A and B are shown apart, each in its own frame.
Chain A
Amino acid sequence: MAATRLFLRASPVKCSLTGLTGGVHSSLGLTLLKLSPACTAKPQAQRRHAAHFTYHPEPAPSQYGPTQKMNLFQSVTSALDNTLAGDPTAVIFGEDVAFGGVFRCTVGLRDKYGKDRVFNTPLCEQGIVGFGIGAAAAGATAIAEIQFADYIYPAFDQIVNEAAKYRYRSGNMFDCGKLTIRSPWGCVGHGSIYHSQCPEAFFTHCPGIKIVVPRGPVQAKGLLLSCIADQNPCIFFEPKILYRAAVEQVPTEAYQIPLSQAEVLQEGSDLTLVAWGTQVHVLKEVAAMAQEKLGVSCELIDLRTILPWDTETVCKSVVKTGRLLISHEAPVTGGFAAEISSTVQTYESTWIFKFPPQPHKKVTARESKYLSLYFALF
């Protein structure tokens, strides 16, 4: 289920939404709720929906050379292909990667590059990541696959205690920067508890690693190549619902999209929307609906890198609009939206004052009140 946190500065100056003071809790919520495509105000009997959003491909980038139509898993294969071609130390391993992977992300690579570079591991996540850390520390570009993000927990100790802290504890003598862990992530509709999880929040509590979530094929290839090139261990979560649904013109040559830079997809003046992965597309539709039905101009930001995240872009945007809505698939409590909201609140220039009064870092002169509302989009 997605969780969304909404911050409003209830100042009439910036706000064109109705019923903001007083009964805002119910009326604004219900107003926004009616906009939401996937839920109704009253609970109903279950209806089966297809994907809860439509994927709109972005225009082909022109600066990276010739492009080819690819979906998300093909763009991942292309990125891995470029890596194996350009870096002789690169190896790919994980469960079932040899035949192509359960999501077809590694199709053809074993035949092309040999079984010593693309190989299966037994069923042991802790072993896979530990092994990857060692291989990376010894100088190989190790690209490990965890078959589903839900299975990453046996490897949690290896990632948090070994990978993340290697450089620091050895005084920069050793590092496993050449390690990249790729994993299918997120809701897919029929995954239930063990094929749908989004564990990025667990890992954001750990300095030393980088976490990246792309929103589409062009982004995926560029971000994955950046992760592989980055000199820090990276976890790359691929939204599994987009593997086939997202089709775009993707450059065939290698290119990189910088990490720790959020992208503003749509400029706006009334509300900042922040999301990553699949939710970016849901919020695109929300932004369109808000513009059409309420005349609200939304600024949509794709966070891209979750750790370390681009605080500047998000905070500057909130300064401009005065309102922030963050949407993610993981549970609300302890989800990454909590971290974003807390940082935005303490950011110097946002001039936000909490209501009811609570201890806060910056006290401002303006008498503006802000409320936080939570709602989930599915």
Chain B
Amino acid sequence: VLSYVAGIAWFLALVFPPLTQRTYMSENAMGSTMVEEQFAGGDRARAFARDFAAHRKKSGALPVAWLERTMRSVGLEVYTQSFSRKLPFPDETHERYMVSGTNVYGILRAPRAASTESLVLTVPCGSDSTNSQAVGLLLALAAHFRGQIYWAKDIIFLVTEHDLLGTEAWLEAYHDVNVTGMQSSPLQGRAGAIQAALALELSSDVVTSLDVAVEGLNGQLPNLDLLNLFQTFCQKGGLLCTLQGKLQPQDWTSLDGPLQGLQTLLLMVLRQASGRPHGSHGLFLRYRVEALTLRGINSFRQYKYDLVAVGKALEGMFRKLNHLLERLHQSFFLYLLPALSRFVSIGLYMPAAGFLLLVLGLKALELWMQLHEAEVGVEEPGGAPGPSVPLPPSQGVGLASLVAPLLISQAMGLALYVLPVLGQHVATQHFPVAEAEAVVLTLLAIYAAGLALPHNTHRVVSTQAPDRGWMALKLVALIYLALQLGCIVLTNFSLGFLLATTMVPAAALAKPHGPRTLYAALLVLTSPAATLLGSLLLWRELQEAPLSLAEGWQLFLAALAQGVLEHHTYGALLFPLLSLGLYPCWLLFWNVLFWK
């Protein structure tokens, strides 16, 4: 208990000054040199954006021919890539199923360089025409960059269709791999190893603030230096920059600053835990390309910036990235951000998770001792205690009896992973539901069916010593959970910590004696699905847009569908992790609870 409290307290304390350090630039190549931004193509960008929007409206899709022509006219090498992807089931939030589109990209060849390295500026265009200002700015920047002679790395200007799907298709084709079963035409032009990428999303030609998104696929984060670079240019250009849509607290000495930081931190934890790519930069991280997404936000604030200010910030960032001699490798890759100018390094946040996992370890140790004592208690009247005790036969029987529940819960997990997508057609034939709904409902059905498990396994399991049976099962489950959480924490701290916070107390408490209904309620509340629902509610709460329970339920269903879909389209690992790893583990505790 103490350890659990300590873990949570440590996490909450992370936002206070001694634990959050000021960010600093580690990369010498980007730190010392100054650049002067000269971008002045605001009108040009607006004109490009207008043309683009008009052509897009006319054709109803990405105006590929117009983009090619325009990119060529500003002096780029232009290539296109067509791709198509059949989603495993219809995506209801984006209304798409059979997706096919075309990516257009232009390469600015650096003079006197042999195309060994490149930088990417990408603008993802969705089905709606929101991002045309960003395309305009991209083209104006390309025109400006083309006139400069200092480039040492090629610059790729990429406009993708169907936002992230297009980005994924392009990245897979660029690296000539096929991870997600995307069909796409091979790329004609390449520009070496991509060193860094920036994604740009603008909704209007004036912005009040720039929001930066760092969380990528499976909770991967870009190098902290890239974020520092962004922050430097925010300060230099006097731009208002936000993180998670939150303003930056100025005063860290009083209580307000850290509390605001805590909100931002929690939002980041929730977003990172979701494992979704928050912006098209998230897909670059898999290929070890450091990337950020910049979002222009236009709110009701008085003071607004035009495209020139944003363009200047981008120009400055690109020029500094151009100076890079090596890949970004100096600063942190694993960090948490309570604010843009403050970070918590891995060494400081790990103890929080460590304390939580210690609970599991201690509990497991206690059970082990109890089991051992019980054995000794059984054996003592019979035989003489030798110095080296061989494994008592009764324990062997106990372990064998554990195999059945373990196998069954794993099989449940496997069913949860495989069946919804496979069985969607069967479901649509027999029930009046759409495919996407079918998938979600099957998910929930299988999930709930898992709860009926103890009654089923009980017939299979036959043990002579019931008390030791559940103890052994719980011991195995505890170690299993601790191992899984330990692994998750190392790769995606937020997810690991979130799961540990919810699952650890219930896991430690679950036993077939005492107030069973209370335990059962606790266990249900902390099951992975309930955690997801809770996280959604918390997320909206922190965003100051609280949800009612009904809305939350709708959002929950949508999130389930999205989770499955993202696993199939981008290779997000949250769904298989939950269904194959944590859900069976949780079932084991459920089993322990209803042990007879």
Our verdict on whether A and B bind, yes or no, reads no
